[in-house]
Amino acid sequence: MKYSFLTIVAVFVTLLSFQSVALDRSVIADKAENVTPILNGANVPNVMVQTAEGSPVSLPALLMQKPAVIVFYRGGWCPYCSRQLAELKDIEQELVAEGYQILAISPETPEKLQSQKLETEFAAQLISDADLNAIKSFGIGFYVENETRNRYKTFEIELASDETERSVMPAPAIFITDTSGKVLFNYVNPDFRTRPSAALVLSAAKLVKPAE
């Protein structure tokens, strides 16, 4: 029996997720390799985030509007993230035609998201998780070593911090959900240089598309 590449990736990601089923996802990992993302079939956490305009909004409330492709990215300063968002822009109309909305969530402040909106035309809604509510609850946050944080500072990049004042970043991730907030597909890779192709994201979205 032959399996598609998409099926193999989905099974692999699911197996990785099951290894973390007994762990507390609200605890920030000590490094990217130890994040414990929520599983397929789980419900999106009831957390508050902010729009690019600074308005607080419940994430489940956003998801009630349409099925969603949720992209967690490190920030507009990250070239790998910018490339990923640019590739998603190429398939945004197809995703919209399939009935999806695109939510791009980062730990950057609404002010920084505003400048990103001015730089590009993109159907994705930019969401600020500067308080790390979603990043923690999705189980994809990890602490950044001081040496790395200081290196970013030399480039005037200020990372988000938690209550311990340690810097936190999300492992780049994609979650596809239905309008009830149920996770239908997830892709999380601790290597920030490796991102799923736009073709893979589109195929996954079509494969798990909720029945109308």
The Cα 80–Cα 181 span in angstroms is 27
pLDDT of 80 over the 50 cut = yes
Of the candidates 67, 72, 74, the one whose C-alpha atom is nearest the C-alpha of residue 37 is 72
Would you say residue 11 has pLDDT above 60?
Answer: no
Instruction: Domain 5-207: give its CATH superfamily.
Output: Glutaredoxin (3.40.30.10)
Helix runs in 98-155, H state only:
110-119, 133-137, 146-153
pLDDT of residue 7: 47
For the stretch 113-149, pLDDT in tens is 887 764 556 678 999 999 999 999 999 999 999 999 9
| pLDDT tens per residue across span 149-188 | 999 999 999 999 999 999 999 999 999 999 999 999 999 9
pTM: 0.85
Q: What is the pLDDT of residue 79?
A: 94
pLDDT digits 0-9 by tens, 21-69? 445 566 899 999 999 999 999 999 999 999 999 999 999 999 998 999 9
The alpha carbon of residue 39 and the mean position of all alpha carbons in its chain are separated, in whole angstroms, by 14
CA dist 168 to 5, 53, 122, 133, Å? 32, 23, 26, 12
Q: What is the mean pLDDT of residues 104-115?
A: 90
Greater confidence (146 vs 15) lies with: 146
* pLDDT confidence of residue 114: 81
Cα–Cα distances in Å, from 104 out to 127, 137, 145, 148, 150? Answer: 6, 16, 25, 24, 26
**pLDDT for the residue numbered 17:** 43
The full set of domain ranges for the chain reads 5-207
Q: What is the pLDDT of residue 83?
A: 92
